[in-house]
Amino acid sequence: MALLSGTVPRIDDILDVEVDLDEIFSWGRNITASSGRTPSISVANGITQITAELIQGTDEECTALQFGDSILIIELDTPIAEKTGFVDVITTKVRLHPTNI
């Protein structure tokens, strides 16, 4: 589940959005190595799980995840040792912001 900023779109509208995962991630708690190798998003009981490929950034306070052609930046509580590979991210705080592109 996600909160959408702005006007509610009509059913079947296609929107370009920025995804904001409004949470600080901690290895082993809400970000872990994934057995999956395909980007995916699933929602169950109000919890969103995103499987994406980890791209280690130079900033120790954040890292990037590649989800298909998109990049998600997440904030970390401490640097993580993993540099690449697929991860599962668990969150309850997803916000979508239309880019108006």
**Tens-digit pLDDT string for the chain (101 aa):** 677 777 888 899 888 888 889 899 999 999 999 999 999 999 999 999 999 999 876 567 899 999 998 989 999 999 888 888 999 999 999 988 888 76
Domain ranges of the chain: 3-98
Show Cβ contacts of residue 91 under 8 Å, excluding neighbours closer than 6 positions. Answer: 21, 22, 23, 30, 47, 48, 50
**Contact yes or no for 48/94 (Cβ under 8 A):** yes
Phi, psi dihedral angles at 61 (to 5 degrees)? -95, -10
Q: How far apart are CA 5 and CA 73, in angstroms?
A: 18
